[in-house]
């Protein structure tokens, strides 16, 4: 349903790079002034726009069964073991927006069985979901979010199956919105989060609230003042709980082809045992549609974070796939400084993506925990002949740690490493929803720990069924509209777009 004419979109509850709609800016007649706009009523009529494109609702799915072989499943330089694997995979991608409901899901999960029992069965992959329902249209929304992925139990060791643990964060709560004048909104949000770690003693129950005052500057720009307060309560008494507070000003501009969002403010940690520090925070996000199907994005910032929140951020820059979130998991919060650059080109027969990102985590009072990660990846797929698709992919990662291990009284060992991964696949699709994929992967890692400097080769054959397209079961179009909804700030309501 389109919004009434001459209504506008405004941000609520401190949404980082998306806006909650009060109306459709496109419905404002050319040449309208702010005085014309001021006469329009405020509310959350579902018709605003977010991002540089106008996505439609969609849902795609895929399921596969495969058999694979690895010549070094333990990912070590000595005592190598080969193994065969059986896999069952699931892929989901969807976006649904109507007058009262917004929902998005992106997921790629795989269940693995190792036929020579090198490791026990496991589930790998990532899944992100978001849902918002207008309990009272325009005024009360209820939100639920979930983020699932894997981290490393021992960050110095390779990403072999026995070194992975599941991490899940579920968040829910209401947002209340009150119109204050013709162009101003006051939003109050409350959230509860449950964080689960499969192995590490980092489970927590988190509580928070936010207050946001938003002012519409024009048909396509707005500014807001935001205050957030969160309490992180760890389940295990060995990990001290702490508070995190932020106050910042947010500017958001949505053009026909360009979206800019910027935050500037102050953040503070408060808790026992050295968890008591503060500093400036800033976030910048720019996306630009440079041509049909071609989008460039840039992000940079300095913000307060922790290990579970970093998993969600890493998914947003690396995409939803089978990747593992790098780095050491810790109960100590940190300042996260990051930069990322991405490009996607999506057409009917060709998809090409490239991403580059860097993260620096600085632990105030615990410099021994400081760490950094650099990642780069590229993906190319091409429909080379009706029913046949070929693809290439490559990624690079570098991890550096301030911490080390004391092997002998005068001998220390760090876990710094670089890792390259590249591969090729061919997909044959004899029917609209049925296909076979042949894939080859090569891994190489250089580590300060000689045991985990290794090479590995894997071969896969998979039979899949689902909403397959030349670009795979996750859909033929750009998935960023769904990703932007899933990665909405936990205190925010994203804007629907039609």
| pLDDT tens per residue across span 126-178 | 999 999 999 999 899 999 999 999 999 998 888 888 899 999 999 999 999 99
Digit-coded pLDDT (tens) for 413-424: 677 999 999 999
Task: Name the region of 397 (left: φ>0; alpha: ψ -120 to 50; beta: rest).
Answer: beta
Whole-angstrom Cα Rg for the chain: 23
Domain ranges (residues) in the chain: 25-50+68-486
Residue 266: per-residue pLDDT = 97
- Find tokens 């964080």 and name the residue: 195
Answer yes or no: is pLDDT of 400 > 80: yes
- Find tokens 């001290």 and name the residue: 240
Residue 25: per-residue pLDDT = 32
Query: What is the secondary structure of 373-384 as a DSSP string?
Result: EEEEEEEEEEEE
CB 17 within 8 A of CB 150: no
Answer yes or no: is pLDDT of 24 > 50: no
56: CB partners within 8 A, 6+ apart: 498
Compute the average pLDDT of residues 350-363: 93
Please give the C-alpha separations between residue 375 and each of 209, 288, 419, 423, in angstroms, as whole numbers: 33, 22, 10, 17
Whole-number Å distance between alpha carbons of 221 and 256: 12
- Find tokens 């769904």 and name the residue: 482
Residue 319: per-residue pLDDT = 78
Answer yes or no: is pLDDT of 494 > 80: no
CB 433 within 8 A of CB 467: yes
Q: 162: part of which helix (H) or strand (E)?
A: none
Encode 132-156: b = buried (16+ Cβ within 10 Å), e = exposed.
Answer: bebeeeeeebebebbbbbbbbeebb
Task: Classify residue 294 as exposed, middle or buried by CB count within 10 Å of its CB (0-12, 13-18, 19+).
Answer: middle
Answer yes or no: is pLDDT of 52 > 60: no
Handedness of CA 466, 469, 470, 471 (dihedral sign): negative
CATH class given for the domain over 25-50+68-486: mainly beta
Answer yes or no: is pLDDT of 62 > 60: yes
7: CB partners within 8 A, 6+ apart: 22, 23, 24, 27, 28, 40, 41, 43, 45, 47
Digit-coded pLDDT (tens) for 265-318: 999 998 875 667 889 999 999 999 999 889 999 999 999 999 999 998 888 877
Mean per-residue pLDDT over the chain, rounded: 83
């Amino acid at each position: 349903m389109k919004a009434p004419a001459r209504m506008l979109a405004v941000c609520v509850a401190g949404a980082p790079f998306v806006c909650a709609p009060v109306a459709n800016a496109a419905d404002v007649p050319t040449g309208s002034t702010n005085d014309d706009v001021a006469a329009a009523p405020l509310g959350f009529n579902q018709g605003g726009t977010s991002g540089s494109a106008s996505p439609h609702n969609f849902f795609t799915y895929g399921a596969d069964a495969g058999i694979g072989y690895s010549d070094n499943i333990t990912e070590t330089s000595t005592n190598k073991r080969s193994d065969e694997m059986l896999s069952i995979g699931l892929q989901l991608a969807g976006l649904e927006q109507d007058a009262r409901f917004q929902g998005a899901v992106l997921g790629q999960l795989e269940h693995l069985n190792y036929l020579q029992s090198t490791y026990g069965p496991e589930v790998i992959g990532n899944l992100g979901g978001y849902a918002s329902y207008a309990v009272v249209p325009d005024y009360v929304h209820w939100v639920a979010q979930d983020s699932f992925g894997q981290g490393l139990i021992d960050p110095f060791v390779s990403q072999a199956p026995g070194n992975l643990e599941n991490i899940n964060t579920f968040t829910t709560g209401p947002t209340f919105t009150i119109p204050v004048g013709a162009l101003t909104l006051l939003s109050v949000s409350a959230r509860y989060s449950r964080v689960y770690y499969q192995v590490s003693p980092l489970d927590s129950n988190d509580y928070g609230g936010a207050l946001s005052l938003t002012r519409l500057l024009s048909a396509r720009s707005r500014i807001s003042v935001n205050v957030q307060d969160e309490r992180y309560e760890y389940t295990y008494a060995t990990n001290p709980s702490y508070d995190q507070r932020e106050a910042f000003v947010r500017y958001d501009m949505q053009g026909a082809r360009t979206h800019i969002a910027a935050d500037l403010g102050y953040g503070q940690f408060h808790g026992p045992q050295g968890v008591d520090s503060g500093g400036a925070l800033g976030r910048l996000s720019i996306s630009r549609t440079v041509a049909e199907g071609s989008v460039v994005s840039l992000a940079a910032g300095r913000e307060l974070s922790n290990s579970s929140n970093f998993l969600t951020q890493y998914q947003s820059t690396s995409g939803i796939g089978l990747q593992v979130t790098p780095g050491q998991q810790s109960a100590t919060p940190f300042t996260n400084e990051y930069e990322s650059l991405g490009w996607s080109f999506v057409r009917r027969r060709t998809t090409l993506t490239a991403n580059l990102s860097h993260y620096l985590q600085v632990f105030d009072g615990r410099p021994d925990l400081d760490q950094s990660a650099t990642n780069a990846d590229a993906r190319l797929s091409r429909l080379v002949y009706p029913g046949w698709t070929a693809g290439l992919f490559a990624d690079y990662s570098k991890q550096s740690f301030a911490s080390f291990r004391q092997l002998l009284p005068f001998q220390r060992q760090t876990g710094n490493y670089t890792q390259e991964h590249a591969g090729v696949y061919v997909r044959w699709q004899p029917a609209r929803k049925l296909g076979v994929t042949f894939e080859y992967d090569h891994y190489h890692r250089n580590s300060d720990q000689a045991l985990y400097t290794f090479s590995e080769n894997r071969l896969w054959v998979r039979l899949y069924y689902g909403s397959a397209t030349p670009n795979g079961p996750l859909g033929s179009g750009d998935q960023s509209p769904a990703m932007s909804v899933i990665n909405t700030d936990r205190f925010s309501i994203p804007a629907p777009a039609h």
